[in-house]
C-alpha cells in the first residue's frame, strides 16, 4: 500500500514538474486520522499530501469541472468510469486531463465498523482483514464486511488502462460477476408493496441534492431542477415533488449511470438510489443487448436516432 502511495506521490510531482497539469485533484488526510478527503493541489510541492484513501474516500471526477486545465486526477476503476462519462458528455476534454489510475482493494465504509469500536485511532489493511486500532487495542474485521456498497458491487479493482500513468500493485479487488439480485427483489415485489417502499424511502429525502452534486453523470451547467421558470420541481418538500425529483434524477442519468454509487454514498438519509439506477442499467443491457451498460460510449442507446429503428410504436 505504501509503495503505491510513494509511486503516486512521485507521479503527481512529476506531472507538475513536467508542466502537464496546472492543478491536481487527489485525496489527502481528513479530519480523522483514518479518513481522507478531496484535495486540489496547485503545485508539485504539495504532492506529499497525497493519500491513497483506505476509508470513506469520495470520488473525484466531478471536481474536474471547475479545476484550471490541464487538470490531473487520480482515479480508481469506479472513478475512471466517471471521468469517462464527463468526457463523453463533453464536459471535459480528454486532452485537458492527466489521469493517473490506481488499483483499489476496496474502500472501507467506517459506518460499517461496529459502534463498539468507537474512537478509532488508525485503520490498517492486513490481507483479507481490516485491523481497527482503538484506545482499547486492535481488532480484526473481515475485509468484505466493512467495504462501501459500491465496492461490494465492484466488478474489478484493477487500475483502469485508459490513463496517462497506470499504477497497479496487483492488489486490486479481484474480478467479480455483476450481481443484479437486489434489482430482482424489487422487480418481484407487488406493485403496491413496491410503491409503499419507494414512498417510505422518498419521504426521507430532505432535498439536499447531494446525490445530484456527487454524480458524474449529473453534470449540467445549470440543473433544470434549479430553474425558477419553468418550475419543473416545486420547492415544497412534499411527497409528489419528491417523486418528481427522484424520477427526474433517475431518468436523466438513465443510460449514462456508471454505477459508481457515489449518489448513494453522498446521501445523508441513506436512500437506495442505486436500485433505480441499476434497474435502468440492467434494462438497457437486456432490452438493447448492450454489454455492460455502465461503460460510457460515444453514442449511447438512449441518446441516438437510428433510421432503421423498427418503429414498433407506429
The Cα–Cα gap between 28 and 37 comes to: 6
Does residue 235 interact with other proteins by CB under 8 A? no
Q: Is 256 helix (H, G, I), strand (E, B) or coil?
A: coil
* 192 or 231: CB nearest other proteins: 231
The Cα–Cα gap between 198 and 201 comes to: 5
Among 33-41, 44-52, 140-148, 227-235, the segment contacting other proteins (CB under 8 A): 227-235
The Cα–Cα gap between 256 and 275 comes to: 15
Query: Quick one: which of 227, 236, 238, 269 contacts other proteins (CB under 8 A)?
Result: 227
Query: Quick one: which of 188, 200, 222, 235 contacts other proteins (CB under 8 A)?
Result: 222
Q: Is 236 helix (H, G, I), strand (E, B) or coil?
A: coil
Contact present, 252 and 222 (Cβ < 8 Å): no
Beta strands in 13-96 (DSSP E): 23-29, 36-41, 71-75
Does residue 1 interact with other proteins by CB under 8 A? no
Does residue 305 interact with other proteins by CB under 8 A? yes
Does residue 23 interact with other proteins by CB under 8 A? no
Does residue 286 interact with other proteins by CB under 8 A? no
* 90 or 235: CB nearest other proteins: 90
What are the Cα distances from residue 74, in Å, to 81, 143, 159, 276?
12, 23, 10, 28
* 1 or 295: CB nearest other proteins: 295
What is the CA 102 to chain-centroid distance, rounded?
Answer: 15
Restricted to residues 238-257, the positions that interact with other proteins (CB under 8 A) are: 252
Does residue 231 interact with other proteins by CB under 8 A? yes
Task: Tell me the closest approach of the beta carbon of residue 255 to other proteins, in angstroms.
Answer: 10
Place of cell 424489487: 186
Contact pattern for other proteins over residues 167 through 206, marking x by CB under 8 A: ----------------------------------------
Restricted to residues 71-130, the positions that interact with other proteins (CB under 8 A) are: 89-91
Query: Quick one: which of 36, 84, 101, 219 contacts other proteins (CB under 8 A)?
Result: 219
Q: Which residues pair with 125 in a beta bridge?
A: 130
102 sits in which H/E element: strand 97-102
Does residue 236 interact with other proteins by CB under 8 A? no
The Cα–Cα gap between 201 and 234 comes to: 19
How many degrees, rounded to 5, is the angle at CA 40 between CA 44 and CA 121?
100
C-alpha cell at 135: 484506545
Contact present, 77 and 172 (Cβ < 8 Å): yes
Among 12-20, 31-39, 278-286, 298-306, the segment contacting other proteins (CB under 8 A): 298-306
Task: Tell me the closest approach of the beta carbon of residue 88 to other proteins, in angstroms.
Answer: 8
Q: Which residues pair with 139 in a beta bridge?
A: 132
What are the Cα distances from residue 86, in Å, to 61, 77, 254?
8, 15, 15
Task: Tell me the closest approach of the beta carbon of residue 90 to other proteins, in angstroms.
Answer: 5
Phi and psi of 303, rounded to 5°?
-120, 45
Does residue 228 interact with other proteins by CB under 8 A? no
Among 7-15, 180-188, 218-226, 282-290, the segment contacting other proteins (CB under 8 A): 218-226
Site size toward other proteins (CB under 8 A) is 24
Does residue 213 interact with other proteins by CB under 8 A? no
Task: Tell me the closest approach of the beta carbon of residue 145 to other proteins, in angstroms.
Answer: 38
Residues that bind other proteins (CB under 8 A): 89-91, 219-224, 227, 229-232, 252, 299-300, 303-305, 307-308, 310-311
Amino acid at each position: 500500500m505504501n509503495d503505491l502511495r510513494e509511486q503516486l506521490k512521485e507521479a503527481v510531482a512529476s506531472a507538475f514538474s513536467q508542466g502537464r497539469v496546472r492543478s491536481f485533484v487527489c485525496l489527502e488526510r481528513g479530519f480523522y486520522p483514518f479518513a481522507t478527503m478531496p484535495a486540489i493541489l496547485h503545485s508539485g510541492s504539495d504532492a506529499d499530501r497525497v493519500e491513497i484513501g483506505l476509508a470513506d474516500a469520495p470520488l473525484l471526477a466531478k471536481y474536474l469541472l471547475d479545476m484550471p486545465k490541464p487538470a490531473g486526477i487520480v482515479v480508481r476503476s469506479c472513478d475512471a468510469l466517471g471521468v469517462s462519462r464527463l468526457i463523453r458528455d463533453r464536459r471535459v476534454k480528454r486532452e485537458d486531463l492527466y489521469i493517473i489510475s490506481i488499483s483499489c482493494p476496496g474502500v472501507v465504509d467506517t459506518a460499517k465498523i461496529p459502534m463498539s469500536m468507537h474512537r478509532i485511532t488508525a485503520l490498517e489493511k492486513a490481507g483479507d482483514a481490516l485491523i481497527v486500532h482503538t484506545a482499547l487495542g486492535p481488532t480484526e474485521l473481515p475485509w468484505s464486511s466493512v467495504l462501501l456498497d459500491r465496492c461490494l458491487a465492484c466488478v474489478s479493482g484493477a487500475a483502469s488502462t485508459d490513463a496517462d500513468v497506470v499504477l497497479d500493485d496487483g492488489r486490486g479487488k479481484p474480478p467479480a460477476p455483476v450481481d443484479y439480485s437486489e434489482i430482482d427483489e424489487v422487480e418481484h415485489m407487488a406493485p403496491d408493496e413496491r410503491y409503499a417502499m419507494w414512498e417510505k424511502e422518498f419521504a426521507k429525502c430532505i432535498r439536499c441534492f447531494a446525490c445530484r452534486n456527487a454524480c458524474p453523470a449529473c453534470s449540467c451547467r445549470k440543473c433544470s431542477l434549479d430553474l425558477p421558470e419553468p418550475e419543473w420541481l416545486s420547492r415544497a418538500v412534499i411527497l409528489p415533488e419528491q417523486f418528481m425529483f427522484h424520477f427526474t434524477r433517475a431518468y436523466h442519468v438513465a443510460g449514462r449511470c456508471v454505477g459508481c454509487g457515489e449518489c448513494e454514498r453522498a446521501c445523508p438519509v441513506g436512500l437506495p438510489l442505486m436500485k433505480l439506477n441499476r434497474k435502468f442499467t440492467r434494462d438497457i443491457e437486456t432490452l438493447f443487448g448492450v454489454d455492460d451498460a455502465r461503460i460510457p460510449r460515444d453514442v449511447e442507446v438512449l441518446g441516438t436516432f437510428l433510421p432503421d429503428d423498427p418503429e414498433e410504436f407506429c
